[in-house]
A and B are shown apart, each in its own frame.
Chain A
């Protein structure tokens, strides 16, 4: 969830995870897709948005004590919420659009004792064998594991669809399974600011920069290029 905005929005990276789940369900009959979200009450609208894509159900973990949880505490809560649930695949975005730590998928997998096929830009499922192409700086790595597995996806994996009107209307009628910490058996001391392993010392706005030097080119490219090269020399790049 993006706390930067006044309205909670579905994390963009999670939209690709939802799209991938829908495509898998279209290829694989009897697939059930359930959304899992940890977030404050207001995140209910985000869960509803997820449901509007045509998911079968949703679980929302919400509790005032969760506020300020770091990635480790978040992974602990998600793992606890999944205890006792049956699943073959956990799909998630590779990072949240606000904190962007990229930690939660691997941490969740570690809690559950499952393989983490992270940064997937392509996914194949053959029976219970899951194959992912993990994006690397220089290409990709093909990895294979047997379900159940945790998969995190990157933007390149698909093009998310828009919810249909029918889906939006159906989502309004669906029940979200809302649970608090007690329901998933996580002590409040293990979450939130106090239960997190990291702490913020202080936060400050980025110091303002001096205004840059902007040069207008004359249309030939030469004036701009010469000024640019002069600046590169000044900055000791050249």
Chain B
């Protein structure tokens, strides 16, 4: 059995989530391959090998970043052919999901998104566990036998554990990018930097703020708390609708779903739409003046109090205890 893992990298440095998914892949298959594209792709061979991958299929032509989705889908398809994999694991990130969706149509594959656990099943193919209906229910699902199984794995669902292997063998793919694949051109990439903070969907700690912050200035407090813990900043829809924080940080039914090791919600009541985006977090903490706020019913730890008093004091405590 061979599993192919789509790995992400920044100019040759493997992303944290990719290490997590390679670790998950080792539990499913005896042979783990990886596929990487873009400049520096071949430089991930050492890191892929360290996480137990035997081979990395690479395509470093800049055409894969100059045109969106279709060229990457062609690379994944070529890597599937080269590896003979029956299972494709990928980071459950929107843009990679587009790539996998495109491959899946051509291969009549089955796709399962947002897996938080994977198990091998004697009946053939992996069984994936995912949260559904806003995290209220847990579903186990599978791709039907005989079809390529594509499974998106959520960040932080697995701990990345190196296996101590040597560098993976590098297989340079020969991919023809035809005119149809160049139909969507990437004109510009605009970074709206959130400083040195981790991306919200990858972070192991998220400090989130809501209506109770009172104004945009309140988010400076949330940012300081996030920085004290090395975490990312999230926001409720009420806060992004008010223009206090950018929309891409919105957690909830119409925003992003996150499942960090620790989520801290401050000034967030915990309406069902917000819970749908965060209740699969491993640990949930809340600060709110209203002791009846629904967020306390799902919190592992809560403070009933004024966040404008509690958070500065908490930052002091954290700094004292970590210095």
Contacts and interface: CB of A to CB of B under 8 A. Distances in A.
A137 B248 contact: yes
Interface residues of B, number: 95
A113 B180 contact: yes
A35 interface: no
B140 A200 contact: yes
A182 B229 CA distance: 58
Interface in B293-318: 296, 298-306, 308-314, 316-318
Interface stretch (B21-29, B34-42, B106-114): B106-114
B104 interface: yes
A141 interface: yes
A221 B185 contact: no
B321 A72 contact: no
B217 interface: no
SS of B interface (majority): mixed
B317 A226 contact: yes
A107 interface: yes
A117 interface: yes
B189 A141 contact: yes
A219 B299 contact: no
A106 B143 CA distance: 19
**Among A118, A135, A224, A227: residue with most chain B CB under 10 A:** A224
B247 A71 contact: no
Nearest to B102: A110
Interface in B104-124: 104-106, 108-114
A71 B108 CA distance: 12
A206 B193 CA distance: 36
Contacts of B201: 137
B314 A228 contact: yes
Contact of A138 (B192, B237, B309): B192
B189 A101 contact: no
A5 to B, nearest CB: 11
B300 A142 contact: no
B253 interface: yes
A19 to B, nearest CB: 14
Interface stretch (B56-64, B78-86, B126-134): B126-134
Interface of B: 68-70, 73, 94-95, 97-99, 101-102, 104-106, 108-114, 127, 131-144, 147, 180, 183-194, 199-202, 205, 229, 237, 240, 247-248, 250, 253-255, 257, 261-262, 279, 283-285, 287, 291, 296, 298-306, 308-314, 316-318, 321-322
